[in-house]
């Protein structure tokens, strides 16, 4: 690898640090970073050269992917309407494509064109706090679950080299109970409601609730106006 040129210039009202280099295969590359003023551009140029030498070109190229680009790739690659084979078995896509895309759109509305390298666990925590002002924790968990998958894809593609969901703080972003504890929650709620039923009905309700929970949903029974109602919640990944 050889550096060809280092320049600082102003274009469209922004100062820009530009580093041009040739890789080991003889291909020419250009790295650009914008800055608010000439002094900051010079600092970024020096940082570019240091990172290029220490970490290699692949890591720097990863910074060219925005969250919008990542979201578009994820929707095109994963979040399409499900397709099925002749036996009715799903072979691609997702069954609930509308909720999945809605979750991604909410993420996109917040992160937009942010460089994905700059989205760390702290940035995701701020997103969580922001969303909790208007929606439930269950909704935020679903949205963060989509983000976790997207960053996993970005890591596999080497668009990033650190997954923000793998840090200690990142692992706490999504409620464990929302992912793994639904079965217990379903049975507890069913037992509470069982107080107004007969003993045999109570045992049957608790048993059925557990079976449904393990299949991916959980049922809670609540008493409203003397009438028992069954509410079903579907957990989505």
pLDDT in tens, the chain (237 residues): 788 889 998 876 778 888 888 877 788 888 878 788 888 889 888 888 887 777 666 655 555 689 999 999 999 989 988 898 888 888 888 888 899 999 999 999 999 999 898 899 999 999 999 999 999 999 999 999 999 999 999 988 888 888 999 999 999 999 865 444 444 434 334 344 444 444 444 444 444 443 334 333 333 333 344 444 444 444 444
How far is Cα 93 from Cα 75, in angstroms, rounded to an integer?
10
What pTM, to 2 d.p., does this model score? 0.53
pLDDT at 93: 82
Cα angle 109-112-117, degrees, rounded to a multiple of 5: 135
CATH architecture classification, 65-174:
Orthogonal Bundle (1.10)
What would be the CATH architecture of the domain defined by 2-63? 2-Layer Sandwich (3.30)
Q: Edge-to-edge strand order for the sheet containing 28-35?
A: 2-11, 14-22, 28-35
């Amino acid at each position: 690898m050889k550096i060809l040129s280092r320049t600082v210039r102003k274009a469209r009202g922004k100062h820009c640090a530009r580093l041009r280099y040739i890789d080991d295969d003889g291909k020419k590359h250009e790295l650009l970073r914008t800055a608010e003023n000439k002094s900051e551009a010079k600092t970024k140029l020096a940082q570019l050269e240091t990172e290029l030498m220490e970490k290699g070109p692949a890591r720097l190229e990863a910074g060219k992917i925005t969250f919008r680009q990542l979201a578009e790739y994820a929707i095109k690659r994963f979040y399409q309407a499900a397709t099925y084979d002749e036996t009715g078995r799903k072979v691609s896509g997702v069954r609930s494509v509308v909720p999945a895309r809605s979750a991604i759109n909410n993420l996109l509305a917040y992160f937009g064109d942010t460089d994905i390298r700059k989205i760390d666990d702290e940035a995701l925590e701020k997103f969580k706090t922001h969303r909790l002002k208007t929606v439930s924790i269950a909704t935020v968990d679903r949205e963060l679950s989509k983000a976790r998958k997207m960053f996993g894809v970005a890591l596999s593609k080497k668009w990033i080299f650190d997954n923000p969901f793998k840090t200690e703080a990142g692992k706490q972003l999504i409620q464990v109970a929302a992912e793994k504890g639904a079965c217990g929650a379903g049975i507890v709620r069913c037992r509470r409601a069982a107080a107004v039923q007969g003993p045999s009905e109570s045992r049957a309700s608790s048993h059925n609730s557990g079976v449904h929970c393990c299949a991916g949903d959980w049922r809670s029974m609540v008493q409203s106006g003397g009438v028992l109602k069954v509410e079903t919640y579907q957990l989505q990944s």
